[in-house]
Structure 1
């Protein structure tokens, strides 16, 4: 890949590609239901004076996003009747999930949130399941629709659309509810799913053919399990499960060998510094004496635009330099910006300083996210895209969330200054692992 300054124009030009631009609308469709069945729905229930303990239980519907890897093999391999022959594997699952989300949101808008809470909960679970399924299908589509060098840009446009949807499902819904009603707000959001539906119908189905090597691998696994003849329904079911569930994991390690363990370790620790710091960010701002309005204005306005700028820049850097160098840059600057928060903890509170630190944090986070999503995308085999990427995305967040859960204990024991230094230090393993993998030709997608 060219690294000359003359290629910068073509690197930025990537955002004019139709498939890259389409990710804005698919990202919007992916992000819209997330808030509508979590924080925004909680606000509606609270406004209707539903008991707070009951509202708390509604957060459990979000578990669907954490366990989507369990049914990703189905999305990967199971053709939907009629729709598959019309739209193809990825678009048929995307469309079905989008229709399910739209219907679910419309049904919630007409439900009695006080008298029939159980119905609202079931509808929220339906929307969450369809939303997680849509995420699986869109991730697979994004990876298969463009070459590796475009994945940073695809991720940037996806994040842009996702962030816009969070504004619509958050502030947008609150405005409509204030001047009209919650029911109308949810009806408008249900209708907004048309953006994703129309995009799904317009984009072209990507190619995701299974190579001979994967067919041979699946045959070998079936033979090892003693089900090669597939002579009975039970053996056929076991064979399907072997092909859909076991083969993606075996293929990954067959392709990467022992290096696969280092790759999985990098996936587990790369976002750890960022997520651990984020848990305590808002309590830290309040501790410094900033008002809720100051926090909202700075984090929402600066946070939104700097994240979009960061992901866009990350996409260009991936296009220009490949994946590994932007991935290394992202790991370094995310850890480094945590030290800015440590400095903020020992100086006089100042809104301009807060804006600068939050801007740097969101810019670095955006660059890291674009590069990391591109890296994860490069690790998948197109025969098992949905399953492998769902595994990577789950592994990406689970250890970081576990580390983040003890953030309050660290602050209570040592204070905010020490905590932010600690959150920077736990980013160092990610830096080291990227450097190690860059030296291994089989582990670096740039080589």
Structure 2
């Protein structure tokens, strides 16, 4: 293969490329947009919300059911075609991507402020309503940020920009997790949610000052009717892979994160029931744990670069499932911090590792003519089964025990391994193009 011609785009591969990408305005923008996506997630769809509900005395099965109110994060692919085709009418002067970004960010800000004044101990109707609204706006924000990231830079820069986005997202998780729990511990939940609402001004500012990406040119003719908007991306996926392989791929993606997600809702209540304070949870789960996830993500990226994602899919599947068994240490030794650190080390390392592997795999499956819709569908599918089972996880714990629950969650990896065995010879790692020479 001949070397890249002079004047070719600068390569963003390797550590030098990552450093180069961090210095670009687009990378800074993606870090702030990632922060905006990560900040509300735990507050409305995961452990911070469930910890708040348990803290006011709510029973486990009610917490699990309330968690289903954040289901819009699983269904964002349904309105992705609308976001791809049109700007939000009242903000159309900002452009197609930035108009939806501003709308969704303001919506999340308003919802978090309203949740600050919700009183779940007096009734959950208002809280559930605002969680529904926040999850719709948060899911819309995520979809638009993904599309913005793809369109704002060349293909060679995508990995580096994804890294800056993930860094911002992880910092958002730390603030929405540890930051909110610290504020709740030393003040109250109202001030915690009000502070998180105020921090959404950072991604809003980034949206106001960033540039609108150019509209990508489609390489296939897109139908403009309902079928064209919603069915064409799906039919393209099945046509490209064949019906049997396409169905197996979708099932595999759906089951891949199942062992981890099935315990997500119960994690916060489990920590409290194990005798840890909100400050303990903030320190170990939301600070230490998130940074361990960053380490796992870098390890996953290096492993995919060195070995491809096929073998790493096997390693990640087993790691995510087996890491659930580390929580048995906490169940057997309640209140002992060393077990908390050990369990969260295993859990977050493999979560971070598996997350990067899955992103690489899903990205290889998407047709660039329908990137936003197909990628949104795959992301939603990756979260859907575990989310719904997580909604009834409280009943499982109350009917058995936390220890039994963790063992059962680890065994749910079996369908994933069976599907991977069938797909093994059908999964082909993409061949990386040669790196372009550095710019003078």
TM bin, normalised by shorter chain, reads: 0.7 to 0.9
> Do structure 1's residue 74 and structure 2's residue 82 form an aligned pair?
yes
Q: Distance in 2 between matches of 1:382 and 1:309?
A: 30
The aligned residue for residue 97 of structure 1 is: 104
Q: Is the 8 A contact 1:90 1:205 kept in 2?
A: yes
Unaligned residue ranges in structure 2 (runs of 5+): 1-12, 433-440
**Count of aligned residue pairs for this structure pair:** 413
Summarize the Cα distance change of 1:100–1:432 in structure 2 as closer, same or farther, 3 Å threshold. Answer: same
Given candidates 150, 155, 161, the residue that maps to 2:171 is 161
CA deviations 1:205-248 (Å, max 9, x no partner) are 44552433243xx3xxxxxxxxxxxxxxxxxxxx5312211111
For 1:347 and 1:55, the matched residues in 2 are separated by: 24
Measured at CA, do residues 213 and 95 of structure 1 come closer, stay the same or move farther in structure 2, by a change above 3 Å?
same
> Conserved in 2, the CA contact under 8 Å of 1:14 and 1:20?
no
Which deviates more, 277-286 or 15-24? 277-286
Q: Could you state the TM-score of these two structures normalised by the residue count of structure 1?
A: 0.72
Indicate yes or no: 2:250 matched with 1:244: no
Matches for 1:89-128 after TM superposition, within 5 Å: 89-105=96-112, 125-128=132-135
CA shift digits 1:109-166 (9 cap, x unpaired) = 7899999998877665444332221122122223444646447635632541331341
Partner secondary structure for residue 220 of structure 2: helix
CA deviations 1:328-364 (Å, max 9, x no partner) are 4322322332344457767899642442232022111
Instruction: State the Cα distance separating 1:269 from its structure 2 match.
Output: 0.9
Instruction: Indicate the residue corresponding to 1:190 in structure 2.
Output: 197
Higher mean C-alpha displacement, 407-416 vs 168-177: 407-416
TM-score (norm 2): 0.73
1:121 and 1:402 map into 2 onto residues whose CA distance is 16
2:242 match: 257
Residue 413 of structure 1 and its aligned partner are, at CA, apart by 8.1
Distance 1:177 1:53, change over 3 A: farther
Rg (Cα) greater in structure: 1
1:274 aligned partner: 260
Q: Which moved more, 1:192-201 or 1:144-153?
A: 144-153
Contact 2:61/2:393, CA 8 A, preserved across alignment: no
Shift of 1:12: 5.9
Distance 1:350 1:53, change over 3 A: closer
Whole-Å separation in 2 of the counterparts to 1:357 and 1:198: 38
CA contact (8 A) 2:56 2:121 kept: yes
Correspondence 1:24 to 2:31:
yes
> Partner of 2:149 in structure 1?
142
Match of 2:376 in 1: 390
Other-structure match for 2:290 = 304
What secondary structure does 1:291 align onto?
coil
* Number of the residue aligned with 1:439: 425
Greater RCO, 1 or 2 (C-alpha within 8 Å, sep 6+): 2
Q: CA 1:163 to 1:207, structure 2 compared with 1: closer, same or farther past 3 Å?
A: same
Task: Give the superposition deviation at 1:263.
Answer: 1.4
**1:368 Cα shift?**
0.6
Q: Which residue of 2 aligns with 1:222?
A: none
Give me the CA root mean square deviation.
4.7
Residue 213 (structure 1) aligns with? 220
Q: 1:90, 1:101 → 2: CA distance?
A: 17
Q: 1:361 aligns with which of 329, 347, 367?
A: 347
| More displaced stretch, 195-204 vs 354-363 | 195-204
